[in-house]
Amino acid sequence: MSETTHPAGGLTRRGFLKTTGAAAAGLACAGAVGVAIGGGALAPTKATADGGEKTIYTLHQFMCQGNCSIKCTVRDGHLAKIEPSDAVDPKYRRCCMKGLSEIEHVYSPLRLQTPLKRVGERGEGKFEKISWDEAMEIVGTELKRAWEAYGKESVYISASNEPRFGMLASILGAGTGVEPGIDRGIGNGVDPAIGGGGFASCSNETRDWVNAKTIILSGINFLETSLMRSDDFFDAKRAGAEIIVVDPHFSTTASKANQWIPLKPGTDGALYLSMISHIIDNKWYNEDYMRAHTSMPFLLDPATGELLRSGKTPEIDPATGEAADPADYLVWDTATNAAVPCDTPGVFAALEGTYEVAGQKVVPVFEQLKASQKGYTTAWAAEKCDIDQEVIEALAEKYATGGPAYLCFGYGGSDKFSNPDIQGHAMVILTALTGQIGKPGAALGHPGGGQGYGAALAAWPLPEDMVPADIPVRADRFADTDAGVHVIISLGNTLQQYYANMNKTREWLPKLDFILHVGMYDEDSVAFADVVLPVCSKFEDTVEHSIVRGGYNHIQLSQKCIDPLFESKPDYDVMYLIAKSVGLESVLPEDAEQLARFQIDEATDPLVAGITFDALVQNHNTMPLAGIETPRIGYADLQFPTPTGRMEIYYEPQHHSGQALPQWEENNEVFDGNPLMEKYPLQLAQTRTRFFVHSHFRGAAWLAQFYTPRIELNPQAMAERGLEDGDAVEVFNDRGSFSCQAFGNNAIRPTSARIYEAAWSKDCISGNPQNVTNDHVNERDADLLTGAPIPFNDTLVEVRKA
Amino acid sequence: MELLTKNKLLTAVLAVLAVAGIAAYVFQLAGGLAVTGMSNGVSWGLYITMFMFFVGLSAGGLIVASSASVFHITRFKAVAMPAIILSTVCICLAGMFILIDLGGIQRIWRLFTGPNPTSPLIWDVCVITLYLVINVLYLVNMRRGNDRAVSIISRFALPCAILVHSVTAWIFGLQMAKEGWYSAIMAPIFVASAMDSGLALLLCVLAALKKARIFDTSRELMASLAGLLATCIAVDAFFIFCEVLTMAYPGAAGAETLALMTSGPTAPFFWFEIIGGLAIPFLVLVFAKNRERTGLVVGASVLVIAGVLCKRLWLLLTSFIVPNVEGAPGVLSDGGWALLGAYAPTLPEVLIVVGMPCLGALAFMVLGSKLLVPATEAEKVRIRGARRAALDGGFDPQTA
Amino acid sequence: MTKLGIAIDLERCVGCHTCANACKMQNNVPTGMLWNRVTTEGCDVIDGAVGTYPNLTRTFLPVACQHCENPACQRVCPTGATYKDEMGRVEIDYDKCIGCRMCMAACPYNARSFNWEEPVRDVDFNYGDAEVPVRPRGVAEKCTLCRERTDRGEEPMCVVCCPTHARIFGDLEDPASEVSKAVIEHKAHVLLEEQGTRPQVYYFD
């Protein structure tokens, strides 16, 4: 083959004249017959008379959070064209190359076509075709067997990108979870302060970016991962916002930003900690905001780390029967020189100083913060992060004094390290110090997808006893910790995508009693399954409308474009069949359209006012939510869903681990001075890309024409290893290895290696990138809202020519 | 058929290769040009190279032959017949390579129903057709011994020969998009290359015919033609030097292309042309003594021909190496993320490129066998009869 | 006289290749071929960067047929298959194309692709616009400025789908059109201006 062209690869400038393949070809020219000279037959693609052409408005898939409404052309029963829906406001008329690639992706030869039954070993990938009846017979038998032997909680539903099985865990009484170890970690540090659930969605939507003066994007490659909202980025820039990207690599977003701060991977926390110090040292904080809306004035005992409370009797929540936090924290009233409850009218709370309450020496949280920040100077961070001290100081000044500002992160950039909660905690403290939240142009959080208005839809009422099982162990720990799970229902490519250290996964999976895989494509997870059920894309359906979505500022309804291909079935139908296999289908609506109608028509969210199923159908299946004209501003009333309604930045329960206020903690693998670096000097970054959503779209040939899995190194790192573009390399560490092509790219930090996350094994030369990823669990796991993140990027490797 | 029967082994080899070439072409018709090594990045390859090469080779013959009449260089008259046969065969081959290169040959009638007068390819079609007609007329009249007609035709033949090379040069020389082609001196270079390669081929053929005792050329005439060849080489070298100097001097885009020629993937062809195709043959032939030695003359001639072939290769391919817009849609090939072009001829392509000249050689041997032997009296009678019959408008059973 | 053209805001181009796939779909472009392609300027790899870490720059450059006012491809086409139409677009009459590839050698932008073999598609049907002719083996093809769409008064598919609205389409002869205004306001440039082809695709930062 040519040296110059690689299948979807890079190129070299040599080898223009390839050695002729003539000799090798051995073509039987003389035998060539049947000269086909066509010509002239230039008929346009026009539909045949009987097939015809129809236009259908529907929605595109879920995981990317693009929430696109699309217009499809179906010709002769084929999905022939996809374009942005013209039924929505021009602002929302979007469809990216992933959506457009569905033309091919839906018909991909990699689709799972029929139910399959394993005939080889687990992981071998040997199957035989079976009928749906046979498959559901096995599923029912296996589920019942597990129920009898170990109870319902022995079944775990591992949910990935597509398909969507909302009610199955409740119906089966199985354990489930959205695998909280992935893509969230910073939120663990942010959300306890503002009462969130751990994902730390951005408090304002991105349409509001135009009102900001400074937008700091920390480790989020927004222009790729939220491509459908990239307009907001440029509109903000044009309106005068300064966009600053903090990223170890020169990402697409970094190249379009006003400033790029290239920091050492996994050191984001140090940067924000030092910004706190610098803002405090320069008194750039907002005392009024701190007093009124944060826990900065709350008194605490430095000896015990406990906050002082007045001892109010807690109220019992009638719904849960649990005691609510009385929110009775004390502050030091400078007028009366006494400790009073924080909600005392007219109180002017001290932020600094040392006081005595009942013979105890107490200090406000802010005073404690100042003390705990002592070591975190900008000079310290400059060395930790490998950036100039002046850059950090300018960033802090801009954020604190430069007008409305955003602090954004997310989509797995710095989330995928061992302790990103410290970064999140530092960020929320920066917000609390400056009051950069709850107003136009000022917000904190994960802006992925835009974070616009989202409406709550009605939930189909299931019998009260039908609730998911509470499994105390997170799924990514099953390999190490016996959680009593014996059956896995894997929806999508979870077994590869949500578990680091894949060799460990491979050892664990054979110990299970039964693995049911439900998915669209022949992904890595399929090989481990005992039974495989093929679901179809959202373009294929058995009813006219089956999915309703409270998408970005809209309610969207799906519409069938084509019949299910091969023997696949829509999500809902498969969920129904699984419920039926154990005799529980009667609790479900008969078909998905009934469910969709119920979800809309019974919705009580005021945002859904005036939107009904029938109205949606009349409006090309998309309608804007009520009141979306102005961008969503979260916490505009500065009331946070915490017990005190304030930003509670002191994490009392974490005092035992020293993280009541954020303290720097090195990563597990990627840190200076780790002796492992001598053996494995490169940090492996598995980053998100515009081309895929985790492993979804890996099977799309129209995307593979742009990118196939390869490890990217800085040309300097390539040269040190004697590598040339396109070389096959082995990426390895003590956990395992995988092989793929290597390419030099200046955008990569010289001490890192980059690959886009969740590559399928079949697209690598051998192995899977997850073979090397770190599955370390931070010791503070139990303290963290969603548990410790899976530190995929806290991974050291070496690369050598394969 | 004397040439064929006397050289059975050669004939057999040529025939086998020619048949293989034709089969390869049939294969190409079936599979499309995808069976070649050409791609969007390098959209022309060996076929167009051979087209250029054979247009050039056909020149020598016609120019020598027509010079005999136009400039009254009577000693050249002796070799006029083999020269014109050679010229005719070569121009046919050139035309064949153009047709072989067409991806939509079934639509070729469009050339005649809707020609675009601004296209150099249309000019070339016209000029090559005219050139072929002149060659055939030349042959017919020479064979018939009609000196007056030959004299008139040769006055057209000479400018036409110049024109056919110029137009071929303009196919490339007028393409502003290709730095290595876009040059006013392209036509003179083509004419000069045509003269030296054509003459060199003629010398080789004459030597072969002499050895085969088919057609004798005097040692003096060989030496004289070799002297002319040396002059042509010098002129060719001079033009190339002019071009290279113009490319290099501003140190701009041209210099980059030149750097590719002298040190890039096509550099071996460039240097072979400069050293093997120009310097060595010139240094051999510049000495009168050397020109007397047939072996040296033939050796130098072979080098000249090989050099010109190399020149065609670097001239064509160098301009494809680096596209103006790297990674443009028209560079995409193999479905990959190619930014640059790449080219390697495939087996069918090589078979065609080898087979067609073999077919040409066979054609030359057939025509040579027929036309190089002195016309017999019977033939002359027949010819005269035919002429009379033509004049009378009658029918002569003897010629029918 | 109409002179349709596109102005592309390179500042807003994020290199997502949506335009490439939008074009591929709309025009039934076969496997291994793109009429419209986004390059990373000066880079050997997709999403590469120019410079030495961390002093880097990156410019995405979408390239398709430039619909030149003085089209080199049209000049050299022997059969008139390539022509400049009344809307100012450079178009190909596939019925007339003999596959000589003069146009490919002449185009300074390498905008053209050739059907070296019988076109193959990833799916077993013709996708995209029903009006778009299917091209046979042996003809050249390229961006038509979505002739079928623009004839109907619609915008080209790459313009419609561009997620950042980096593409402005319209009549360059009409001084009031958005595209004309963008060209003047941003002092837009063309690719390879020195070639004198006078492209109708403009770029600005």
Q: Tell me the per-residue pLDDT of A47-102, one tens digit each, with 9 for 90 and over.
A: 444 458 999 999 998 778 889 999 999 999 999 999 999 999 999 999 999 999 99
Confidence band (pLDDT; 50, 70, 90) for B68? confident
Structure letter (DSSP) for residue A540? B
Say yes or no to pLDDT of B259 above 90.
no
Q: Give residue B332's pLDDT.
A: 66
- Measured between CA atoms, the residue of chain C closest to residue B176 is C195
pLDDT of residue A163: 56
* Min Cα separation B6/chain A (Å): 28
- CB-nearest to B23 from A23, A26, A29 is A29
Of residues B19 and B82, which shows the higher confidence score?
Answer: B19
Q: Which residues of C touch B337 (CB under 8 A)?
A: 45-46
Which residues on B lie below 8 Å from C80 (Cβ)?
A: 114-116
Choose among A156, A162, A65, A138: nearest CA to A491: A162
Give the residue-averaged pLDDT of A708-720. 96
Chain B residue at shortest CA distance from A17: B343
Which chain B residues are closer than 8 Å to C40 by Cβ? 327
Q: Name which residue leads in pLDDT, B185 or B380.
A: B185
The whole-number pLDDT of residue A64 equals 83
**Interchain pair C135, A42: CB under 8 A:** yes
Instruction: Measure B297 CA to nearest chain A CA, in Å.
Output: 33
Structural element, H or E, at residue A574:
helix A571-581
Q: Which residues of C touch A94 (CB under 8 A)?
A: 163
The per-residue pLDDT for B75 is 81
pLDDT tens-digit profile of B35-59? 999 988 899 999 999 999 999 998 8
Token pair 């162990």 in the structure block, residue? A473
Return the residue of A nearest to B332 by Cα.
Answer: A5
Q: Look at residues C43, C96, C51, C42 and name the one whose alpha carbon lies nearest to residue C74.
A: C96
Contacts of B40 in chain C (CB under 8 A): 104, 110, 112-114
Cα three-residue angle B325-C107-B30, rounded to 5 degrees: 105
pLDDT in the model for residue B143 = 85
| DSSP run (H or E) holding A149 | helix A132-150
Instruction: For residue C34, give how far its alpha carbon lies from the nearest alpha carbon of chain B (Å).
Output: 6
User: Best residue in A1, A3, A4, A708 to probe B by mutation, most B CBs within 10 Å?
Assistant: A4
Strand A214-218 versus strand A242-246 pairing type: parallel
Cβ atoms of residues A712 and A742 within 8 Å: yes
In angstroms, what separates the C-alpha of C6 from chain B's closest C-alpha? Answer: 17
Chain A residues near residue B100 by CB distance under 8 angstroms: none
Q: Is the pLDDT of residue B185 over 80?
A: yes
| Most C CBs within 10 Å, among A74, A95, A96, A100, to test the C interface | A100
Q: Find chains touching chain C: ≥3 CB pairs under 8 Å.
A: A, B
Choose, out of C116, C122, C158, the residue to mutate when testing the contact with B (most B CBs < 10 Å).
Answer: C116
Considering only CB atoms, C160 lies closest to which of A84, A252, A748, namely A84
**Strand, helix or coil at C68?**
coil
Q: Which residues of C touch B39 (CB under 8 A)?
A: 116
Confidence of residue B395 (pLDDT cuts 50, 70, 90): very low
Q: Mark yes or no for CB contact B34/C117 under 8 Å.
A: yes
Where are the domains positioned within chain B?
Answer: 1-37+344-372, 38-103+113-343
Q: Does B105 touch chain C (CB under 8 A)?
A: yes
pLDDT (average), residues A667-675? 96
* Nearby residues of B196 by Cβ (< 8 Å), 6 or more positions away: B60, B229, B232, B233, B235, B236, B304, B308
pLDDT, average across residues B270-295: 92
CATH architecture of the domain with residue range A45-95+536-569+589-632:
2-Layer Sandwich (3.30)
- Closest chain A residue to B350 measured between Cα atoms? A22
CB contact A224 to C (< 8 Å): yes
| pLDDT given at position A44 | 52
pLDDT at A10: 36
pLDDT per residue, tens digit, chain C (205 aa), is: 899 999 999 999 999 999 999 999 999 999 989 999 999 998 888 899 999 999 999 999 999 999 999 999 999 999 999 999 999 999 999 999 999 999 999 999 999 999 999 999 999 999 999 999 999 999 999 999 999 999 999 999 999 999 999 999 999 999 999 999 999 999 999 999 999 999 999 999 9
Whether the predicted pLDDT of A27 surpasses 60: no
Q: What mean pLDDT do residues A333-353 have?
A: 94
The answer to whether the CB atoms of C33 and B43 lie below 8 A apart is no
The predicted pLDDT at position B158 comes to 86
Which residue from B minimizes the CA distance to C111?
Answer: B330
Token pair in block for residue B178: 């290709």
pLDDT digits (tens, 9 = 90+) for B110-160: 999 999 999 999 999 999 999 999 999 998 888 888 888 888 888 888 889
Give the C-alpha separation, A522 to A509, whole Å: 18
Phi first, then psi: what are they for C146, rounded to 5°?
45, 60
A-chain CB neighbours of C163 within 8 Å are 94, 96, 227-228, 230-231
Comparing CB atoms, the residue among A14, A34, A706 nearest residue B30 is A34
Q: What is the pLDDT of residues B220-250, one digit of tens each?
A: 888 889 999 999 999 999 999 999 898 888 8
Nearest residue of B to residue A34, measured between CA atoms: B30
Position A183 confidence tier, pLDDT thresholds 50, 70, 90: confident
Residues 6+ apart with CB under 8 A from A31: B23
Work out the average pLDDT over B289-311. Answer: 93
- Mean pLDDT is lowest, of A160-174, A497-511, A529-543, A674-688, for A160-174
CATH number for the domain running over B38-103+113-343: 1.20.1630.10
Nearest-CB residue to C56 (from A107, A716, A746): A746
Sort out which chain A residues have CB atoms less than 8 A from B20's CB and list them: 29-30
Task: Domain A187-452+639-657: state its class.
Answer: alpha beta
Q: Cβ–Cβ of A750/C53 closer than 8 Å?
A: yes
Which two tokens mark A794?
């806290």
**pLDDT confidence bin for A440, thresholds 50/70/90:** very high
Asked if A97 is an interface residue toward chain C (Cβ–Cβ < 8 A), one would say yes
Substitution target in A16, A20, A104, A725 with the highest count of B β-carbons within 10 Å is A16
Helix/strand/coil (H/E/C) assignment for every residue in A616-676: HHHCCCEEECCCCCCCCECCCCCCCCCCCCCECCCCHHHHHHCCCCCCCCCCCCCCCCCCH
Tokens representing residue A199 in the block: 């994902």
What pLDDT is recorded for position A38? 35
Q: Check pLDDT > 60 for residue A43.
A: no
| pLDDT tier, A6 (very low <50, low <70, confident <90, very high otherwise) | very low
**What distance in Å separates residue C50's CA from the closest CA in chain B?**
14
Packing angle between helix A571-581 and helix A132-150, nearest 10 degrees?
A: 50
Q: Given a cut of 80, is residue A42 above it in pLDDT?
A: no
Domain definitions of chain C by residue range? 4-204
Average pLDDT value over all residues in chain B: 86
The alpha carbon of residue B19 is apart from the nearest alpha carbon of chain C, in Å, by: 24
What does the pLDDT read at residue A7?
30
Which of the two residues, B162 and B341, has the higher pLDDT score? B162
Q: What percent of chain A has pLDDT over 90?
A: 80
Q: What is the pLDDT of residues A596-653, one digit of tens each?
A: 999 999 999 999 989 999 999 999 999 999 999 999 999 999 999 999 999 999 999 9
At the topology level of CATH, where does C4-204 sit?
Alpha-Beta Plaits (3.30.70)
Asked if C161 and A84 come within 8 Å (Cβ–Cβ), the reply is yes
Rounded to whole angstroms, the Cα distance separating A739 from A768 reads 8
Asked whether the predicted pLDDT for residue A159 surpasses 90, the reply is: no
Backbone φ and ψ of B42, nearest 5°: -120, 90
Predicted confidence at residue B338, as pLDDT, reads 60
Q: Residue B379 — very low, low, confident or very high, per pLDDT cuts 50/70/90?
A: low
Tokens of B2: 């004397």
Domain A676-801, classified CATH 3.40.50.2000, yes or no? no
Supply the pLDDT for residue A752.
Answer: 97
Nearest-angstrom CA–CA distance, C205 and C203: 7
Q: Are B346 and A22 an interchain contact pair (Cβ–Cβ within 8 Å)?
A: yes
- List, in sequence order, every residue forming a beta bridge with A744; answer none if it has no partner: A713
- Judged by a CB distance cut-off of 8 A, whether residue B121 touches chain C is yes
Q: Pinpoint the residues of chain A covered by CATH 2.40.40.20.
A: 676-801
pLDDT at B217 over 60: yes
Q: Decide the pairing of beta strands A116-118 and C50-52.
A: unpaired
**Tokens 């490169």 belong to which residue?**
A682
ipTM score of the complex? 0.96
Q: Which of A14, A17, A39 sits opposite B344 (nearest CB)?
A: A17
Out of B32, B43, B335, the one facing C105 most closely (by C-beta) is B43
Peptide bond preceding A163: is omega within 30 degrees of 0, i.e. cis?
A: yes
Measured between beta carbons, the chain C residues lying within 8 angstroms of B328 are 37, 39, 63, 109-111
Give the pLDDT of residue A160: 75
B335/A8 Cβ within 8 A: yes
pLDDT at residue number A747: 97
Closest residue in B to A35 (Cα–Cα): B30
Quick check: A180 pLDDT over 90? no
Q: Which residue of B has its CA nearest to C138?
A: B103
Write the residue in B108, B325, B335 that is nearest to C32 by C-beta. Answer: B335
Q: Per residue in A581-599, pLDDT tens? A: 999 999 999 999 999 999 9
Q: Which of residues 269-308 of B touch C (CB under 8 A)?
A: none
Cross-chain Cβ contact A45/C28 below 8 Å: yes
Q: Choose, out of B17, B27, B107, B356, the residue to mutate when testing the contact with A (most A CBs < 10 Å).
A: B27
Class of the domain covering A111-174+468-534? alpha beta
* B145 in C contact zone (CB under 8 Å): no
Query: Is pLDDT above 90 for A193?
Result: yes
CB contact (8 A) between residue C101 and residue B110: no
pLDDT over 90 at A322, yes or no: no
